[in-house]
Structure 1
Amino acid sequence: MFLEDLSPGQIFRAGPVTVTAAEIIAFAAQYDPQPFHTDAVAAAAHPLFQGLAASGWHTAALSMRLVVQAIGHIQGGVIGAGGELQWPRPTRPGDELRVEVEVLEVLPSRSRPDRGSVMVRITTLNQANEAVQVFAPRMVVPRRPL
């Protein structure tokens, strides 16, 4: 898929993937070792989380896996150029995550005729259809060769 194959309003989907407590703890132990990610008892006492919660970075990594499943057929891969990331609610053990990738804007480059940029909104939803992550990145996408 090239820049010319994308248009605002298109939606791509992938998932679900189930998150386990063991995965949450293992990821956090290595990358985000805070008690509300690594210790169920400490997490239950936390005033904000009130239970074991996945690191936002764990949610982001799982979401990226699903994004590649949804739109990984973009020529050259899924190449990000920055964006805004939000975690409106925690990912919990047992959550089944899926992503929806909505194309918001498609812009051919003025200075690089071989590519363009695409603004997307990637929403990661749990089994209750609640957003656990919303990421609005700009991606670099090649144009179809002439």
Structure 2
Amino acid sequence: MQYYEDIEVGDTAEFGEYHVTKEEIVDFAERYDPQPFHTDEEAAEDSAFGELVASGWHTASMCMRMLVDGPLQERAGMGARGVDELRWKQPVRPGDTLSIRSEVIDKRVSESDPKRGYVDSFLEGRTQDGDVVISWIGLGMIERRNPGEE
């Protein structure tokens, strides 16, 4: 298990592989973001994208899945305080395969709870071609192995 003390600013990781299908794009969009360029191939041809594309919220969800299946299952995680600077950089299309690159950019001990550390990480979701499609700063909370020690 990886605790707060095991994590250093500058730590990087590359992980995950998520294949995006047309069926999943449409299913997610019909449930949560039913705009025509996410749900209807023909209508999407007349959109700014020119084709069916995934909802940005779907893209974030796919990346979250890779985080949970990847490094988060090895961390003594305590949830998150939120996400800053969420950006959808490019559309995700059917047939894309996504992966993640993350870098720890800050860490500090909670002033209100010495059992908890805050770890902020910059995350990018990328396609098989290396194109960045989404980015954000995750504001994680990680259990401390030795509360009270600095």
Global fold match (TM > 0.5) = yes
How far off is 1:44 after superposition? 1.0
Matches within 5 A, 1:37-52: 37-46=38-47, 48-52=48-52
- What is the Cα deviation at residue 70 of structure 1? 2.6
Q: Cα distance, 1:136 vs. partner?
A: 0.7
TM-score, normalization: structure 2? 0.91
- SS of aligned partner of 1:113: coil
Segments of structure 2 that go 5 or more residues without pairing to the other structure are none
* Alignment match, 2:110: 109
What one-letter code is carried by the residue in structure 1 that aligns with 2:5? Answer: E
Structure 2 CA distance, aligned partners of 1:8 and 1:24?
35
After TM superposition, list the pairs within 5 Å mapping 1:1-146 onto structure 2. 1-46=2-47, 48-72=48-72, 73-76=74-77, 79-82=79-82, 83-145=84-146
CA displacement 1:45-103 (0-9 Å, x = unmatched): 10x211111001110110001111232111135x2212221001011000000011211
**Greater shift in the superposed pair: 79-88 or 18-27:** 79-88
Rounded Cα–Cα distance in structure 2 between residues aligned with 1:137 and 1:17: 20
Paired letter, 2:117: G
Could you tell me how far apart the structure 2 residues matched to 1:144 and 1:74 are?
11
Identity of aligned pairs, percent? Answer: 39
Name the TM-score, length of structure 1 as normaliser: 0.93
CA-based RMSD of the aligned residues comes to 1.3
Question: Is contact 1:40–1:51 with CA below 8 Å preserved after alignment?
Answer: yes
8 Å Cα contact 1:70/1:101 also seen in 2: no
Letter matched to residue 54 of structure 1: A
Could you tell me which amino acid in structure 2 is paired with residue 95 of structure 1? D
| Structure 1 Cα separation of the partners of residues 81 and 135 of structure 2 | 16
Gapped regions of structure 1 (runs ≥ 5): none
